[in-house]
Amino acid sequence: MSPKRIVVIGPESTGKSTLCIDLANHFQSLWVKEYAREFLLENGTAYAFDDLYKIAVGQINNEEEGIRSIEALQQTPPALFIDTDLYVIKVWSEYVFDRCDNRILSAIAERKYDGYLLCNTDLPWIKDELREYPDLSTRERLFNHYKDLLVNQHIPWAIVRGAGNERVASAVESVTRIIAAV
């Protein structure tokens, strides 16, 4: 049986990477890192519209590597956790450039996932060299873009709220429900 592919999305500084690590540990599984961080750390933060397609390709490659890694395990865990997906790149592209590369949109239609966790903006924003939007109103606006995307598709999803152990418990409960539903 293949593991369920659970994507963790949301605005920056909402705990996506930390949550993926915590969920992978809880479910004794693996997680896929967000490629955009790697790309921006290597190439700088002065990105252009065309860079977002490169980031999308890198994200897909990371996901495929994660799938191969989990399939190589002797015992298959119930889920593979993916830190962001192409929806995040779509929202990012539309927010910054008012458009999205058609190749990214086509790839979104082709990629298959089993569930989404949308991280709420209830955590404090933490500055790092890659983050761009410290104001809560922008983060909430982006959160609503993600929520609109999820509402308008057929894959199970849940909003993750709270801090620390409360946030992890909320996510574990949601993942357990998603795994049981699909």
Greatest pairwise CA separation for the chain in angstroms: 46
Domain count, the chain: 1
Tokens 């955009």 -> residue: 36
| Res 38: pLDDT | 94
| Res 158: pLDDT | 97
The span from the CA of 142 to the CA of 131, in Å, is 14
| Res 1: pLDDT | 62
List, for the chain, all residue ranges whose pLDDT scores fall below the cut of 50: none
- CB atoms closer than 10 angstroms to residue 116: 25
| Res 114: pLDDT | 96
| Res 143: pLDDT | 96
Domain extent, residue 37, equals 4-181
- pLDDT, one tens digit per residue, over 52-104 is 999 999 999 999 999 999 988 888 889 999 999 999 999 999 999 999 999 99
What DSSP letter does each residue of 69-125 carry, written as one string? HHHTSSS--SEEEEE--HHHHHHHHHHHHS---HHHHHHHHH---SEEEEE-S-SPP
| Res 49: pLDDT | 98
CATH code, 14: 3.40.50.300
Record the tokens describing residue 137, joined without a space.
């109103």
| Res 5: pLDDT | 96
